[in-house]
Amino acid sequence: MNRIGETFLSAGRPLFIAFTVAGDPDFDRSVAAARALIEGGADIIELGVPFSDPVADGPTIQRADCRALGAGMTPEMVFTLVRRIRLFSTVPVVLLTYYNIVHHYGIPRFYRDAGGAGVDGILIADMPVEESGPVMKVAKETGIDQIFMVCETTSPERFERILKNAQGFLYLVSHMGVTGVLTALPPGATALVRSVREKTTMPLAVGFGIATPDHAAGIARAGADAAIAGSAIVAIIEENMDDQECMVDALKKYASSMRNAMNRPGEAGMG
Amino acid sequence: MTGKTGRFGKFGGQYVPEALMAALIELEASYLKISRDRDFVREQSHYLKNYAGRPTPLTYCKNMSKDLGAKIYLKREDLLHGGAHKLNNTLGQALLARYMGKKRLIAETGAGQHGVATAIAGAMLNLPVEVYMGEEDIARQRLNVFRMELMGARVIPVRTGSRTLKDAVNEALREWVGSVSDTHYLIGSVVGPHPFPLIVRDFQTVIGREVRKQSMKVEGRLPDHLIACVGGGSNAIGLFHPFIRDHVTMTGAEAGGHGLLTGEHGATLCGGTPGVLHGAFSYLLQDENGQIAGTHSISAGLDYPGVGPEHSMLKDLKRVQYIAVNDDEALTAFRYLSRKEGIIPAMESAHAVAAALRMKGEISRDDIVVINLSGRGDKDVTTVAALQGDVS
């Protein structure tokens, strides 16, 4: 078991997973953002590798990808950024990327360099389990957890196949759509968590649309092991681009409120 | 040609977010069932004949033949209802969507031809249509936007990325993820994840099948050369596929834009490398980090950094020769065909005409050359007029 599994086991409560796009709005401020999220209480950091055509992402994360690419972000620099995080933190780091980035870099080289930098897990947003053969082989060799998504339309047969390959945690897609902030927790999210919970003991993390401590608490009540927030974090970065201090403060506060919402049902909130 | 895995050789596949997998599996199953259903095939043939105007003529070009020193024919997809080959596909997919119980069609469009063809099929079959179109393309293809709206389609401007066809596909895919249960994504070319490249190819092969018959009837034999333009590649595969096992040479004309060396072009097979875009492993134009590259073409329909996976296979097999035709050469061919034969080609199809003009001196008197005239050029006359204004 690597760092992701250990984190889920040792926490004794649901985790808060914080997503940002690596290099948004530039390399240095991206390091500061990751640091603020970790200091605020994020249990796992998920870094988006910026891609020109992120079809699973809504407008907020698309804009972040554009800013990061505009600032000259490359896969090599993403690995450098992870190394930088490793200087001050041991929280698990998961990369969220698209297939072409990995393919172009070279699948074995990508996983080797990611592992060397301190990456613990990789999720390829446009790689269903059917296309995962070449990647799975390399992921196993490098000891990196290959993370897969599951959604309400995933058939039982495909779910079994995903479960055979998935490592670290299952990423449950809360609603049918792209990433973005929702005003309320999608009604299907709870049902999805419950139905998957019946079938596996693997940690379940819910993402897409999760933005507020209320959402996170709702996810925890449903029996999930983690809530993932992305667009809400990217929006904070976007709103505070001209003031790094404000950005860091706001991210810390946000991470802390999300982290506190993840106490086990019945436990008093700390914040 | 494609096996159980949905591949053309090593190309193709299904590189999509998990949320789309169920829809693709449903689509594949429905299509396999319906393509063997007699009632469906009969209904489709009925509409192709009585509504769309098939078969389209194979026109002998007297003046061009004399000029090039060979027998030059045009396959007249410009005469199909809507003004391009696109309706072959949209009629088929719209009928398939209705069969699947889908209530709504979404589509992407570049030049607007596919959007128009989807609007036509949607209006006729009473299915609401939303068309995603890049802002830049909306500006350069005003006429088609108006046509789509006249037929009741909603045109949704895409303001992300390069604001052209690539980004329109991205937005349509994003929209589809959120609406798969009641919506069919009617993709416009032989691109995208399996089973789209297979379905669109099957619906377009009516072009090549007709050419076989027409050539046998008029010339008593099959053509020697086939030429078509290649953006995503649907009109080309529609013409080529029925001849793949015959002794016929094939040329695909890609958008050379300002020239391959300038980097400003849409010649994916001539200047690209394999990778994954819009759900398929195929050649694509990308930078040194695997980011999708910007493209340029005088023709909005060829301004696309990807290409159908079957073309990638045909390129690697060297079964089809792919060449890059620059903007200037396409423009010359546009004027040439208008003047010589009284037929104004779509700027996309003008690339194929240009490829034929290059063959002058290399072909002999008895050679039969068929150029797929994939669309008519009315939509492009304002662009050409503006360019002439620049010159004079």
Q: Which tens digits make up the pLDDT trace of A11-46?
A: 999 999 999 999 999 999 999 999 999 999 999 999
Shortest Cα distance, chain A CAs vs residue B348, angstroms? 25
Beta bridge partners of B105: B129, B184
The answer to whether the CB atoms of B16 and A126 lie below 8 A apart is: yes
**Chains A, B: CB pairs < 8 Å:** 102
What pLDDT score was predicted for residue A1?
Answer: 67
> Which chain A positions have a beta carbon within 8 Å of B180's beta carbon?
153, 176
pLDDT score for A90? 97
Contact assessment for residue B224 and residue B368, using Cβ atoms and an 8 Å cutoff: yes
> CA of A91: how far to CAs of A15, A200, B81, B280, in Å?
12, 25, 61, 35
- Give the model confidence (pLDDT) of A138-191 as tens digits: 999 999 999 999 999 999 999 999 999 999 999 999 988 888 888 888 888 999
Confidence (pLDDT) at A179: 86
Task: Pick the residue of A53, A107, A149, A182 with the most B CBs within 10 A to test the interface with B by mutation.
Answer: A53
Q: Is A57 a catalytic residue?
A: yes
Asked whether the beta carbons of B353 and B74 are under 8 A apart, the reply is no
* CA distances to A4, A93, A95, A214, A218 from A210, in Å: 21, 19, 18, 9, 10
d(CA B254, CA B265): 9
Check if A151 contacts B (Cβ < 8 Å). Answer: yes
Rounded alpha-carbon distances, angstroms, from residue B283 to A52, B238, B319, B325: 17, 19, 16, 18
Which residue, A61, A56, A203, A212, is CA-closest to A120? A203
Write out the two tokens for A209.
């649309």
Q: Tokens 């290649």 belong to which residue? A: B230
At B390, which helix (H) or strand (E)?
A: helix B381-391
β-bridge mates for residue B251, sequence order = B227, B321
- Measured between alpha carbons, how far is A219 from A17 in angstroms, rounded to an integer? 12
For chain A, give the number of residues.
271
Omega prior to B55 cis, within 30 of 0: yes
Pair A187, A239: CB distance under 8 Å: no
CB contact under 8 A, B291 and A52: yes
State the DSSP code for B300. G
Q: Which residues of chain B have pLDDT under 50?
A: 1-3, 392
Nearest CA in chain A to B305: A53
What pLDDT, on a 0 to 100 scale, did the predictor assign at position B1? 43
Q: In CATH, what number does A3-7+16-266 get?
A: 3.20.20.70
Using an 8 Å Cβ cutoff, are A241 and A213 in contact? no
How many whole angstroms separate alpha carbon B171 and alpha carbon B164?
11
Residue A12 Ramachandran class (φ > 0 left, ψ -120 to 50 alpha, else beta): left
b/e map B129-143, b = 16+ CB within 10 Å: bbbbbbebbbebbee
| Distance (Å, whole) CA A209 – CA A165 | 26
Q: Is A46 a catalytic residue?
A: yes
Task: Report the percentage of chain A scoring pLDDT > 90.
Answer: 89
Cis peptide before B128 (omega within 30 of 0): no
ipTM: 0.95
- Confidence (pLDDT) at B2: 44
Does the CA dihedral B284-B285-B291-B292 come out positive or negative? negative
Q: Does A231 touch chain B (CB under 8 A)?
A: no
Contact (Cβ atoms closer than 8 angstroms) between residue A117 and residue A83: yes
Report phi then psi at A44, rounded to 5: -140, 140
Hey, are the CB atoms on B276 and A100 less than 8 Å from each other? Answer: yes
Q: pLDDT tier at A265 (50, 70, 90 boundaries)?
A: low
Radius of gyration of chain B (CA): 19
pLDDT the model gives residue B111: 84
User: Which residues neighbour B220 within 8 Å (Cβ) at sequence distance 6 or greater?
Assistant: none
- Residue-level pLDDT at A100: 98
Q: What is the pLDDT of residue A103?
A: 98
* Residue A71 CA to its chain's centroid (Å): 22
Distance CA B299, CA B253 (A): 12
Residue A154 near chain B (CB below 8 Å): yes
CA distances from residue B391 to B300, B327, B385, B386, B388 in whole angstroms, order as listed = 21, 15, 10, 9, 5
Question: Which residues in chain A have Cβ-Cβ distances shorter than 8 Å to B277?
Answer: 53, 100
Q: How much of chain A is helix, strand and coil, in % rounded to 5?
A: 50, 15, 35
Decide if B286 touches A, using CB distance below 8 A.
Answer: yes
> B170 to chain A: which residues are within 8 Å by CB?
53, 55
pLDDT tens column, A34-81: 999 999 999 999 999 999 999 999 999 999 999 999 999 999 999 999
Token couple for A80: 């450098």
Residue ranges per structural domain of chain A: 3-7+16-266
pLDDT score recorded for residue A269: 43
CB contact under 8 A, A53 and B277: yes
Which amino acid type is present at position A48? Answer: G
Catalytic residue (one of B85, B114, B225, B265): B85
Residues B236 and B233: their CA atoms lie apart, in Å, by 5
Cβ of A101 under 8 Å from any chain B Cβ? Answer: yes
Q: How confident is the model at residue A270 (pLDDT cuts 50, 70, 90)?
A: very low
CB A3, CB A120: distance < 8 Å: yes
C-alpha distances (whole Å) from B257 to each of B250, B277, B347 are 21, 21, 12
How much is the pLDDT for A264? 60
A151 contacts B18? CB cut-off 8 A: yes
**Are residues B170 and A53, on separate chains, in Cβ contact within 8 Å?**
yes
Q: How many alpha carbons fall within 13 Å on the CB side of residue B295? A: 34
Interface test with B, best of A73, A96, A100, A158 (most B CBs within 10 A): A100
